[in-house]
Structure 1
Amino acid sequence: MSGQLPLDLALAPRFGEQDFLESPCNAQALALVRLWPDWPRHMLLLTGPSGSGKSHLGAIWAARAGARIFDGRDLDAGGPPALAGEKALLLENAELAPEKELFHLLNVLMESGAALMLTAARAPDFWGLKTPDLLSRLRRMPQAEIAAPDEAFLQTILVKLFDDRQIRVDAATIAYLAARIERSLATCGALVSALDREALARGRAVTRAFAGEFLRGNPQFGCGADDDDSD
C-alpha cells in the first residue's frame, strides 16, 4: 500500500482544568492556581520552560477569575491605561514586555487592587532588567515554578498526545521515546506531530523500530536511539 499524503492539521489545545495532567513537576503551581481567590496580594508569577503548561494553568486561572489574557509582547505605551479597568489580568510572556510599560502596568494594577498572574520562562533575575524598582517588585511577588518533567510524566504526556490523534502506540514504544527525547512538553508535542506525519506519509505504524529509525534521522528531538530495531 502506497503512503498517504499527510495533512498537517494542528490540533487545538484543550485548556480546561479537566485536561490538565498533574505531576510532581507542576503540583505546586496547580495547587496555587486552585487556591484562588485566596492569593497573597492577589498576584502570582508563574515560571517554567516553553511548553511546560504555563498557558494551560494561566487559562485555568483566567476562567476562575474572569481574567483578560494579554501578551507581554503586545504591551505598548497605551497598554497600561487601557488595562487599568481590568479586575483580573493574565499577562503571558511577561519577560518580553517593555520594561517601562510593564512597570507602569504593575503600578496601575496594584493601585486598583486588581488580580494579576504573570507567566515567564524564567525568574525575573534572568530577564536582564535595567529598572531596579521593577526587579524588586517582581521579586516580591508570590512565585511558583513548573520544573522539567521526569521520564514517567513524559510517558503520560506522550500517551495523551498520541490518543488525541487516535494513534495506538504500545507501552514499550512510549517508554523507548520518553527515555531518548529532551525532557520538555514542547518536544513531546513536536515529536508526536512529526511521527504522525511521517508514519502516515510512509504508510507505517508507530512502532519501536519506526520510532528508533525516526529519532536517528531527527536528532533535534534529543539523543538518537542506538539499538538496531527492525519491524
Structure 2
Amino acid sequence: MTATPRQLVLDWPHAPSFAREDFLEAAGNSQALKTILAWPDWPTRTLMLIGPSGAGKSHLATIWARQANARAVDAASLTRDALGELAEAKALLIEDADRSGADEAALFHLVNLARERGVDALITARAPPDAWGLRTADLLSRLRLAPIVELGAPDFELTQAVLVKLFNDRQLAVDPALIGYVALRIERSLDAARALVAALDREALARGGPVTRAMAARLLRDEDQQAP
C-alpha cells in the first residue's frame, strides 16, 4: 500500500498571547480575575496567586504585571545580588515561588524589603506556602500573611473554549464535535491544550489536509502510551 505523502513542515514559533482580551473567564477563575484586576485596591500590599500547572497563573500574573508596571522575577533564579535592584521597583511579580532551587534567604529578604518599602507584590505558586517544605520558619510566617487567591484547574467548558480559541488562532477550521471529543479526553491543563493543538496543526500540515478526529485520537493514544 502506498504511504500517504507528507509535506515538509517548518516549525514556526507560536507563542501564546497573555493579553487581557485573551484570558477566558470561567467559574474556576472568575474570582481570581476579579481580585487581580481590583489592584491597586487590594486588601494588603502582597497577594498570593495559587493554582495547578496549566491553570492560567502566568497569564493572569502577566495581566497584572502590565497593569502595575511590575518587575518580574522567577523565584528559582533569584539571588541576593539582585535584591537591591528588585526592591527599587514600584511593583513586583515573584513567579513560581514554590519551585525547588529557590534561594529561601533571598526570597525572605525580598519579601521583607517589599513590605518595608510599601511595594505591591504578587507571588505565584502551585500550592499554599505550608506545602512547599520551607526550611526557613521566618519566611513561612511572612508568606502566611499574604491573602491567597486560588485558580482552579480548567473545567470541561473552559477546556472547550480554550481549544476553540487555539484552533482559531492557527486559522484551523475544525468540527465542533472534535472539540468536545478532545475536551473530554485531554488533561485539564492549558499547557496540554496548547501542546495538542500544536501537534494537530503540524500533523495536518504534513498531511496536507484538515484536522480530523482520527488524527486527534491517535495523538491522544500516543500520549497515554508515553505517560508513566
Instruction: Give the structure-2-normalised TM-score.
Output: 0.92
Identify unmatched segments of 5+ residues in structure 1: 223-231
Q: Distance in 1 between matches of 2:143 and 2:213?
A: 46
Query: Could you tell me the percent identity over the aligned residues?
Result: 53
1:179 corresponds in structure 2 to 184
2:41 corresponds in structure 1 to 38
Which of 46, 60, 63 aligns to 1:60? It is 63
Q: Distance in 2 between matches of 1:139 and 1:74?
A: 22
- Is residue 187–residue 221 contact of structure 1 (8 Å, CA) maintained in 2? no
1:170 corresponds in structure 2 to 175
Shift of 1:160: 0.5
Q: Distance in 1 between matches of 2:137 and 2:220?
A: 45
Secondary structure at 2:25's aligned position in 1? coil
- Is residue 72–residue 91 contact of structure 1 (8 Å, CA) maintained in 2? yes
1:52-201 mapped onto 2 (5 Å cutoff): 52-96=55-99, 97-201=102-206
Secondary structure at 2:122's aligned position in 1? strand
Q: Name the stretch that deviates more: 133-142 or 203-212.
A: 203-212
Q: Distance in 2 between matches of 1:173 and 1:3?
A: 23
Q: Distance in 1 between matches of 2:15 and 2:225?
A: 24
What root-mean-square deviation, in Å, do the aligned CA atoms of Structure 1 and Structure 2 show? Answer: 1.6
Q: Distance in 2 between matches of 1:120 and 1:221?
A: 27
Q: Distance in 2 between matches of 1:158 and 1:142?
A: 32
Q: Distance in 1 between matches of 2:59 and 2:83?
A: 24
The total of aligned residue pairs comes to 222
Shift of 1:124: 1.0
Q: Distance in 1 between matches of 2:81 and 2:218?
A: 52
Q: Name the stretch that deviates more: 176-185 or 47-56.
A: 47-56
C-alpha offsets along residues 179-231 of structure 1, whole Å, 9 cap, x if unaligned? Answer: 01111111101111111112222233212222223322332698xxxxxxxxx
Letter in 1 for 2:73: F
Secondary structure at 1:179's aligned position in 2? helix
Identify unmatched segments of 5+ residues in structure 2: none
Change (3 A) 1:220 1:156: farther
Q: Distance in 2 between matches of 1:87 and 1:210?
A: 49
- Is residue 155–residue 175 contact of structure 1 (8 Å, CA) maintained in 2? yes
- Is residue 51–residue 126 contact of structure 2 (8 Å, CA) maintained in 1? yes
Secondary structure at 1:217's aligned position in 2? helix
Shift >6 Å, 4+ stretches: none
Q: Distance in 2 between matches of 1:138 and 1:220?
A: 40
Secondary structure at 1:94's aligned position in 2? coil
2:207 corresponds in structure 1 to 202
